[in-house]
C-alpha cells in the first residue's frame, strides 16, 4: 500500500510588513511592490509637511458646507490620520473619503497598533466602511470607498462621490502601478472635481506626471520640498489655487526633456514629448499671457 501523500507546506511570506522609516518610527512596506510608505520622514511628519503649504492655508472652502477631503490610497491610514489631525481644530464639519483597492495595509497598521491610528474609530470604519463622530462640536465622517480607483472614477458620474476641496494623492509610482497614472484616469478625476475649486497634493516632481496633469485639464504648480526632494507638485482646478504655477521656463524644460512624454496609457516609454502633446500643453490657459 502506498503511504498517504501530503503536499509540502509552502509558507507564503506576508505581503505587508512593519518596518522602521528613516526617522525610526514604524511604517509599512509592501514587499510585493518593494515600496515602503513614507520611507524617509515617517507616517506623521510627511503628511504634516505636505499639508503645511501656503496653498493649503489659503484655500477658501464654500461656506455652510462640510469640508471634503479625498485620500487617494488609504494604505495604512497615514495620510488620512494626518488630514484629520490637520483639521482637528476646525469648527467645520469634515468629510474624509479614503479610496483603496484593499484593506490589508490598514489591517496590519491596526493590529500592530501603529500610533498614528490611536484615538481614531478604525474598528467602526473597518466594520461598516464609514465612521462618524463629534470633535469640538463639529462632525467628522470618514468613509472608505473600496475598489479600483480608475474604475470608480470612470464608472461613476461626477457627483457620485461628494466633490472634494482637497485631494491628497499617495499612490505608488508609475513604474509599480502604471494603471494609476494614465491620462484617462486623471481626466476622469478632473471631471469629478470640477464643480468647485479643488487642490491636489502630490509627492512627485516628475516632468511627465506634470505634463499628464496639464493635459488632463488641471493647473499645475510647484509644491514644497519634502525630505530629500527639493520640490513636489500641486495641481488645482483653478489657477488661483497655486502660488507658484509652472511657467514658460518650465515649458522650455519640458520641450528639451528626454523624459517629457506624458503618461498616456501603459506601457509608458521614457522619451521626449510628442510635438502634438507639447502644442496642446502650450495652449493650456495656464501659459496664456
Ligand atoms: C503608498 S500606499 C498609500 C499609503 C497611505 N496613504 C498611507 O499614508 O498609509 C498606496 C495605496 O494605493 C492602493 N492602491 C493600489 N492600487 C490601487 C487601485 N487600483 N485602486 C485603489 N487603490 C489602489 C494600495 O493598496 C496602497 O494601499
Hey, whose CA ends up nearest to atom 26 of ligand 1?
Answer: 75
User: How large is the average pLDDT for residues 135-153?
Assistant: 97
| The predicted structure's pLDDT at residue 235 | 98
Question: Would you call 135 helix, strand, or coil by DSSP?
Answer: strand
* Shortest-distance atom of ligand 1 to CA 79: 8
- Reading the block at residue 68, the C-alpha cell is 471634503
Is residue 172 in contact with ligand 1, taking CB distance under 6 Å?
yes
Strands, E, within 149-237: which ranges? 166-169, 199-202, 219-223, 232-236
Question: Would you call 235 helix, strand, or coil by DSSP?
Answer: strand
CA of 236 to the centre of ligand 1 (A): 21
Is residue 78 in contact with ligand 1, taking CB distance under 6 Å?
yes
| The predicted structure's pLDDT at residue 1 | 47
| The predicted structure's pLDDT at residue 6 | 61
Banded model confidence at residue 33, pLDDT cuts 50, 70, 90: very high
Q: Is the pLDDT of residue 10 over 80?
A: no
Is residue 171 in contact with ligand 1, taking CB distance under 6 Å?
yes
Is residue 168 in contact with ligand 1, taking CB distance under 6 Å?
no
In percent, the amount of the chain with pLDDT more than 70 equals 97
Q: Is the pLDDT of residue 217 over 60?
A: yes
Is residue 79 in contact with ligand 1, taking CB distance under 6 Å?
yes
Banded model confidence at residue 195, pLDDT cuts 50, 70, 90: confident
- Please say whether the dihedral angle defined by the alpha carbons of residues 218, 243, 201 and 20, taken in this order, is positive or negative: positive
- Among 186, 83, 188, CA closest to 141: 83
Hey, whose CA ends up nearest to atom 22 of ligand 1?
Answer: 100
Q: Is the pLDDT of residue 266 over 70?
A: yes
Mutate-to-test residue for ligand 1 from 171, 180, 188, 266, highest number of ligand atoms within 8 A of CB: 171
Mutate-to-test residue for ligand 1 from 101, 104, 115, highest number of ligand atoms within 8 A of CB: 101
Over the stretch 232-264, which tens digit does the pLDDT of each residue have? 999 999 999 999 999 999 999 999 999 999 999
Over the stretch 83-103, which tens digit does the pLDDT of each residue have? 999 999 999 999 999 999 999
Q: How far apart are CA 132 and CA 124, in angstroms?
A: 9
CA of 73 to the centre of ligand 1 (A): 3
Name, in order, each residue with C-beta under 8 angstroms of 11's C-beta and a sequence gap of 6 or more.
none
- Among 79, 91, 56, CA closest to 197: 56
| The predicted structure's pLDDT at residue 3 | 52
CA of 183 to the centre of ligand 1 (A): 18
- Among 197, 288, 210, CA closest to 237: 197
Mean pLDDT of the chain: 95
| The predicted structure's pLDDT at residue 12 | 83
CA of 278 to the centre of ligand 1 (A): 30
Q: Which residues of 9-26 are buried (b: 16+ CB within 10 A; e: fewer)?
A: eeeeeeebeeeebbbebb
Is residue 50 in contact with ligand 1, taking CB distance under 6 Å?
no
Amino acid at each position: 500500500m502506498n503511504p498517504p501523500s501530503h503536499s509540502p507546506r509552502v509558507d507564503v511570506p506576508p505581503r505587508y510588513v512593519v518596518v522602521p522609516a528613516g526617522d525610526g518610527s514604524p511604517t509599512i512596506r509592501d514587499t510585493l511592490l518593494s515600496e515602503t510608505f513614507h520611507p524617509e520622514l515617517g507616517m506623521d511628519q510627511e503628511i504634516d509637511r505636505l499639508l503645511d503649504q501656503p496653498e493649503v492655508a489659503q484655500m477658501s472652502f464654500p461656506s455652510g458646507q462640510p469640508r471634503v477631503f479625498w485620500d487617494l490610497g488609504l494604505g495604512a491610514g497615514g495620510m488620512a490620520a494626518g488630514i484629520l489631525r490637520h483639521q482637528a481644530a476646525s469648527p467645520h464639519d469634515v468629510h474624509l473619503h479614503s479610496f483603496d483597492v484593499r484593506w490589508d495595509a490598514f489591517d496590519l497598521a491596526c493590529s500592530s497598533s501603529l500610533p498614528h491610528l490611536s484615538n481614531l474609530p478604525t474598528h467602526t470604519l473597518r466594520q461598516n466602511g464609514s465612521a462618524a463622530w463629534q470633535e469640538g462640536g463639529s462632525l467628522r465622517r470618514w468613509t472608505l470607498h473600496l475598489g479600483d480607483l480608475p474604475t470608480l472614477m470612470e464608472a461613476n458620474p461626477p457627483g457620485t462621490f461628494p466633490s472634494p476641496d482637497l485631494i491628497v494623492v499617495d499612490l505608488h509610482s508609475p513604474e509599480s502601478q502604471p494603471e494609476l497614472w494614465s491620462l484617462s484616469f486623471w481626466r476622469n478625476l478632473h471631471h469629478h472635481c470640477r464643480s468647485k475649486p479643488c487642490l491636489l497634493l502630490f509627492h512627485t516632481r516628475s516632468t511627465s506626471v506634470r505634463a499628464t496633469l496639464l493635459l488632463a485639464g488641471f493647473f499645475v504648480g510647484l509644491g514644497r520640498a519634502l525630505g530629500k526632494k527639493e520640490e513636489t507638485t500641486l495641481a488645482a482646478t483653478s489657477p488661483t489655487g497655486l502660488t507658484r504655477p509652472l511657467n514658460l521656463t518650465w515649458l522650455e524644460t519640458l520641450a528639451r526633456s528626454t523624459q517629457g512624454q506624458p503618461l498616456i496609457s501603459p506601457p509608458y516609454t521614457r522619451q521626449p514629448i510628442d510635438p502634438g502633446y507639447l502644442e496642446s500643453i502650450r495652449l493650456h490657459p495656464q501659459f496664456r499671457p
